[in-house]
Amino acid sequence: MITLLRFIIFVIPISLISFLYFFINDNDYYPGADFKVSDMPAFELNSLYENSVVNNLDLEGSYLINVWASWCITCRIEHGFLVQLNSQNIPIIGLNYKDERNDAIEWLGKYKDPYRLIIHDYSGSLALDLGVTGAPETFLIKNGKIIAHFSGEVNKRVWGDVFAPVIKKEKVVWNDQI
Amino acid sequence: MLIQIAHFLAILSTGLFLTTFVFSFLFTKRDKNITRLISRIYSHAFLMLTSSFFIYIWLALNDNFSVLYIAQHSNSQLPSFYKITSIWSAHEGSMYLWIVFLCLWGFLYSSYSPNDNILKARTIGVISLIAVGFLSFLLLTSNPFETILPIAPMDGADINPVLQDPALAIHPPMLYLGYVGFVIAFANAISFLINGDKSIRWEESVRIWSISAWVFLTVGIALGSWWAYYELGWGGYWFWDPVENVALMPWLAATAFIHSLSVSSKSQLLRIWTILLSIIVFSLSLFGAFIVRSGIIDSVHSFANDPERGLYLLSFTGILVFSSLILFSYRLPLLASKKLITSFSKESFISINNIIFGTLIFSTMLGILYPLIYEYLYLQKISVGAPYYNAIFVPATILACIFLFFSIDSKWQRTYRIINSYTSMLFSGIFSLAITISVMLYFVISDLWILVSLFTGLLIIIRYLFVIFEFLINKKYSNPYSIAAHIGLGLLIISISLNSQFSSERAINIKINGDDIYKDYRIKFDNLELIKMSNHDSVMASFIIDSPSGKTFVLNPEKRKYFTRGQITTETAIHATPLKDIYVTLGDQLDDGSWIVNIQFNYFIRWIWISALLMAISGSFLAFSLRGTSR
């Protein structure tokens, strides 16, 4: 009887905890990261600086889209790393999300602009199509397909854990023309 | 500067808790002074931790946005009350509060438990060790003191609007007080096992602590359910959301535990159950923290986070659980009582109760984990919902109630003859059956489970009314707290079954000035207003509702858009009567200009929370009556 009880009280938690251990160590599992491949949605929006229109056909090849806003505190924390990425010739397109134009321009003036191009999405329509839940979020796009999506601050570690493996696996070649 | 002081105090308290732990296991002699010394070090550690927490509250109140966490979750425009509650609106701050509460229970225990024996010293040591584990987790992986330097932002990003609500402001603290309150029972059980002296009776002294924790847990869960109903607009009382379930599991285990504890504190029976349950309750509380904070489950509560947190919590919980279980299994022969449990004694019924509750906990755990296992194996997401849980909870609860019904007149350690109280049993049966059948015929109910549940709920309430009656007439003693709490259970079962029988909802398309009829209620869409508030824009609809009885009332559901986060929230409008709630939410506008409006008639839903409250109140009176037993 006691042996049976001992057996039961150990088998249940051991199987439970070891399963959870494997689950959180699984390669595909990373909080905030999503590797489902989907099409880049069609859009037509103004750019932040000039009043020119940007649409999805203007963007070719591989690039990053970073959702940010001047009201977003985490975006400020993330900003330094984006500047670093930009200096490594990685093209980042900013998606200014539900933000006043002047606030956004002032924000970029105060810090540094890491973006090659900024889309002004005041109503959040493109963000909605992308499935954005808040700022900051970052998308990796290759030839019109979203191949990685991360919700939250991108930093050196997230870059190494989430983006670098996909870039290597999918042989991403950055589009320098943007 | 204040930030660094608060941070430093938190680090210092971690060190002192570690010292407390080391001391409590270094000295094995029975010496009053050592126990006192350990209590004193612990109190100082606690004092430092609370000072650090109070400084943190001060920082939040004064809009110190150079603290990253405060900048992310508070805003200078918020009322002071929400500046404070914003502290527990996300991961870091709520973990901080969780730890402060954990140490608070330990502090109260060390000051109010007048024992001076080695068991108390060890108990404080175990609590300190747990505090060290969680403080390191907080400081290493989720530091709330992280700053934005050199320039602090002008304003904060604001608290999530759905959290700007009084019910939600107190729901997490209540729930946390409940979760961590079981640390005292757990730590006592562990130090009892380490000691290995089976003559020590620790059970009586932890009853008051465990029942108080149970009360907090009950209130916390009920508040969460209420908040989801009227603020999130979920329109019901329970959704089997994974995070609701991880709170339900410790509650079930705690309920079984306090029953089992009442046996073990009177006689030495069921000690194996009691100790095992104390380990299970606390482990499940930690498991809940892991599930919510590791981000492995998508839920309203999940916090955005990084993978290290999940790994740390899992490892810490795993180490704690396994060392407890190894200790438990090593001491098993010592705990096994030679005395057999008499059949039809109160103990026998409580051990049946333990088995039923164990089944419920295991099934809930399976329901939470099955989608994860499935996702792991087949890379597809599935969800386990109400049908699964209903199929298990309804029959098991009915079974438990039937055993409860027969146990009411049972005696401690003595068999009892059912024949002695057959009259009250028979009459309760007849009355309940009569009421159930008349309800069935009058309202044409054909669902067998609803009828059986209704019958069971009535059976318990009427049976207890007989007990009260016998007490008033024959002065036959019975435990008033148990009566009130179990009537609460009966009421809960009746309310849930009537709610699922009668509640209904419909979505209607309605234009401004248009009207519609639902269940004899005439609904007129009177007006739509745009309101500009300081931090949100709002569309407020106004519906004039004529009830069949001739009463007229106005309901104003809203949709709000908050500026800082761009979030859209739905504000429900509820017309509450004792019998039912009329619950209206505003949906989207269609292209032809009409609006989708969702109307629900929720019957007896208030009674569900009232029953939970009744249980909690009886528990708090019981805890109050146990003052002075904590020695």
Q: What is the DSSP string of B362-425?
A: HHHHHHHHHHHHHHHHHS------HHHHHHHHHHHHHHHHHHHHHHTT-BTTB---GGGGHHHH
Say whether both A19 and A43 belong to one domain.
no
Interatomic CA distance for residues B438 and B451, integer angstroms: 11
Task: Give mean pLDDT, residues B116-128.
Answer: 88
Range of the domain at A136: 32-169
Is the predicted pLDDT of residue B563 greater than 80, yes or no? no
Which of B325, B333, B379 lies nearest to residue A9, judging by beta carbons?
A: B325
Distances (CA, A) of A69 to A97, A146, B55: 5, 21, 31
Say whether both A104 and A164 belong to one domain.
yes
Q: What are the structural domain ranges in chain B?
A: 1-164, 199-416, 504-606
Task: Give mean pLDDT, residues B556-583.
Answer: 84
User: Quick check: B296 and A74 CB within 8 A?
Assistant: no
Residue B610: per-residue pLDDT: 96
**Cβ-Cβ contacts under 8 Å for B370 (sequence gap 6 or more):** B382, B384
Say whether both A5 and A44 belong to one domain.
no
Chain A residues near residue B362 by CB distance under 8 angstroms: 12
Say whether both A37 and A57 belong to one domain.
yes
Say whether both A58 and A94 belong to one domain.
yes
- The values of phi and psi at residue B152, to 5°, are -80, 145
Task: Give mean pLDDT, residues A150-178.
Answer: 87
Say whether both A23 and A39 belong to one domain.
no
CATH of the domain at A131: 3.40.30.10
Say whether both A62 and A93 belong to one domain.
yes
Residue B631: per-residue pLDDT: 46
Question: What confidence category does residue A35 fall into, taking pLDDT thresholds of 50, 70 and 90?
Answer: confident
Nearest CA-CA distance, residue B256 and chain A, Å? 17
Q: Are A62 and A173 in contact (CB under 8 A)?
A: yes
Give the pLDDT confidence of B456-493 residue by residue, as tens digits: 999 999 999 999 998 898 887 888 999 999 999 999 99
Say whether the ipTM exceeds 0.95.
Answer: no
Residue A177 in any domain: the answer is no
Alpha helices in B182-241 (DSSP H): 183-195, 203-230
Say whether both A112 and A139 belong to one domain.
yes
Residue A20 in any domain: the answer is yes
Is the predicted pLDDT of residue B304 greater than 60, yes or no? no
Q: Could you tell me how far CA B584 lies from the centroid of its own chain?
A: 27
User: Quick check: A32 and B332 CB within 8 A?
Assistant: no
B578's enclosing H/E stretch is none
Residue B284: per-residue pLDDT: 95
Helix (H, G, I), strand (E, B) or coil at A21: helix
Task: Give mean pLDDT, residues A31-35.
Answer: 80
Task: Give mean pLDDT, residues B340-367.
Answer: 91
Say whether both A162 and A77 belong to one domain.
yes
Say whether both A47 and A57 belong to one domain.
yes
**How much is the pTM?**
0.88
The number of distinct structural domains making up chain A is: 2
Interface probe, candidates A14, A71, A111, chain B, greatest B C-beta count within 10 A: A71
Say whether both A14 and A44 belong to one domain.
no
**Per-residue exposure over A77-96, b if at least 16 CB sit within 10 Å of its own CB, e if not:** bbbebbeebbeeebbbbbbb
Which of B305, B321, B336 lies nearest to residue A13, judging by beta carbons?
A: B321
Is the predicted pLDDT of residue B154 greater than 80, yes or no? no
User: Quick check: A13 and B328 CB within 8 A?
Assistant: no
Is the predicted pLDDT of residue A60 greater than 70, yes or no? yes
**Chain B interface, Cβ < 8 Å to A:** 68, 71-72, 148, 153, 156-157, 272, 276, 283, 290, 294-296, 304-307, 310-311, 314, 317-318, 321-322, 325, 328-329, 332-333, 336, 362, 365, 369, 372-373, 376, 379, 564-566
| Percentage of chain B exceeding pLDDT 70 | 96
Which of B148, B310, B564 lies nearest to residue A71, judging by beta carbons?
A: B564
Nearest CA-CA distance, residue A162 and chain B, Å? 12
Residue A175 in any domain: the answer is no
Residue A91 in any domain: the answer is yes
**Cβ-Cβ contacts under 8 Å for B441 (sequence gap 6 or more):** none
Residue B382: per-residue pLDDT: 80
Say whether both A144 and A59 belong to one domain.
yes
Cα dihedral sign, B102-B126-B16-B36 = positive
B123's enclosing H/E stretch is helix B118-141
Radius of gyration of chain B, Cα coordinates, nearest whole angstrom: 27
